[in-house]
Amino acid sequence: MQKRKYLQLAQEVCARIHRFPKPVIAAVNGYALGAGAEMAINADFVLMAQSARIGFPETGIGTFIGGGLTRVLPQLVGLARARELVFLGELIDGNQAKAMGLATAAFPDATFIDDVYAFAERLAARAPLSIALAKDQLNQGSERSYETALVTELEGVLACMMTRDWQEGIDAFAAKRKPVFRGE
């Protein structure tokens, strides 16, 4: 019973990362293995130092993957590559992770922190309500039909048009300036 509760807690952490309405950035600078890798994979963006390592060694130590990995990992890298990563449990570096679609970016070790902050600043400049809506829709996209996606996207655009941020975006575009979004 205690093992189950511990494992459910780990699963819930990954689910919260996945469902969190704001974008989550996993900055991997070192090793992300097992549960750490599972948490990173549930983030919206995995930013890695080039020398960082990520992997899923569970099958080599007689345990199993968690954190929604059986759904999320194949979406990121494809089923064949997901099988390779999980079955063999080999560690890959930032450049390899980027090349296969597991990481969003692999930054040089020397500038890693600055590069992560620059990425986060670019993301933070976007409209928060639009981002939250996009995250929710993208996370559910593979479960929906194309027709349902069209309807939910239409409703999303209409909802955004009712916000102050939408008006700020229009005003900023017309004035040829950068918008300042407030999440309203």
Three-state SS for 133?
A: helix
CA dihedral sign, ordered 146, 14, 28, 182: positive
Q: Are strands 92-93 and 53-55 parallel, antiparallel or unpaired?
A: antiparallel
Q: Quote the CA–CA distance of 108 and 7 in Å, as a whole number.
A: 34
Q: Which domain holds residue 18?
A: 2-124
Are residue 15 and residue 101 in the same domain, yes or no?
yes
Q: Catalytic site residue 147?
A: no
Q: Strand pairing partners for 26?
A: 46
Residue 184, domain member (yes or no)? no
Statement to judge: residues 138 and 81 lie in one domain: no
Give the CATH number, domain containing residue 43: 3.90.226.10
> Can 58 be counted among the known catalytic residues?
yes
Q: Which one is catalytic: 12, 38, 168, 184?
A: 38
Residue 141 is encoded by which pair of tokens?
């996209």
Catalytic site residue from 58, 84, 90, 143: 58
Q: Confirm whether pTM is higher than 0.75.
A: yes
User: Per residue of the chain (184 residues), what is the pLDDT tens digit?
Assistant: 798 898 898 999 999 999 999 999 999 999 999 999 999 999 999 999 999 999 999 999 999 999 999 999 999 999 999 999 999 999 999 999 999 999 999 999 999 999 999 999 999 999 999 999 999 999 887 788 899 889 989 999 999 999 999 999 999 999 999 999 998 9
